[in-house]
Amino acid sequence: MIRAGLAVAIVALGGCATSSLVLLPDDEGHQGAVAVLESGGAQTEAVIAEGNSRTKLGTKSPVAKPLGANGLKKQEAALLTGLPPPAKSFLLYFEQGTTTLTPQSATILAALRGEISARSGPEVEVIGHTDTVGSEADNDRLSMKRAEEVLAWLASQGFDRSMMSAVGRGERQLMQPTMDNVDNPANRRVEVIVR
């Protein structure tokens, strides 16, 4: 009985705290939105879509106000500065039916290595693909081999395997959609995502 009363009191207290939302344009300048699905214990239809705005949460109909001349608070600006860098994606292309990089793609490896080295606590996802030449099963194997080839090269450069993962997606995710058995250099690729 005492416990239940205490729990209710805490929830009520929480309801009084003036949580707030600051909405900003993303790094590419695009403006997204945040829907306020519930506020102060009631469902709402409010959608905050104004960039550089501040919204007090917990009221029945939350309204966004412009940040105005004062802009962000100091601790808000510090928070944004502390965000990790965005994920970066690299595309490496392969010779038909092989795990051999095209000469052009081989020159990208140094940039890839540099990107991983520059990051704190990096994670690397390696995704292999093929074009539609050959059977699906063969292409599953080939795409995996391509991804493993890139992973092995990264490991040879001193990157710990625990930060990396490799998958092969065969011919299921074509960069350029084609009919079956079409030789297509753009589809013979490995994508490396560095986070």
| Contacts with other proteins, residue ranges (CB under 8 A) | 11, 14-27, 30-41, 47, 57-58, 62, 75-76, 78-80, 82-84, 86-87, 119-123, 125, 163, 167, 169, 193, 195
Structure tokens at 192: 């490396």
Shortest separation between residue 177's beta carbon and other proteins, angstroms:
17
Nearest by Cα to 183 from 135, 133, 139: 133
**Least distance in Å: CB of 178 to other proteins?**
20
Q: Which is nearer to other proteins, 115 or 123 (CB)?
A: 123
CA distance 9 to 14: 9
Q: Which is nearer to other proteins, 100 or 173 (CB)?
A: 173
Please work out, in degrees rounded to the nearest 5, the angle formed at the alpha carbon of residue 94 by the alpha carbons of 93 and 100.
Answer: 130
Neighbours of 119 (CB within 10 A): 16
Cβ proximity to other proteins: between 64 and 101 the closer is: 64
CB of 75 to other proteins, least distance (A): 6
For 93, 131, 133, 177, the CA distances from 180, given in Å and listed in that order, are 19, 9, 7, 10
Contacts 24+ apart (CB under 8 A), 46-54: 48/21, 48/23, 49/23, 50/23, 51/23, 51/24, 51/25, 52/23, 52/24, 52/25, 53/22, 53/23, 54/20, 54/21, 54/22
Q: Judged by CB, which is closer to other proteins: 104, or 162?
A: 162
Pick between residue 123 and residue 138 the one whose CB is nearest to other proteins. Answer: 123
Cα angle at 114 between 110 and 120, to 5 degrees? 155
User: In this complex, which beta carbon is closest to other proteins, that of residue 101 or of residue 194?
Assistant: 194
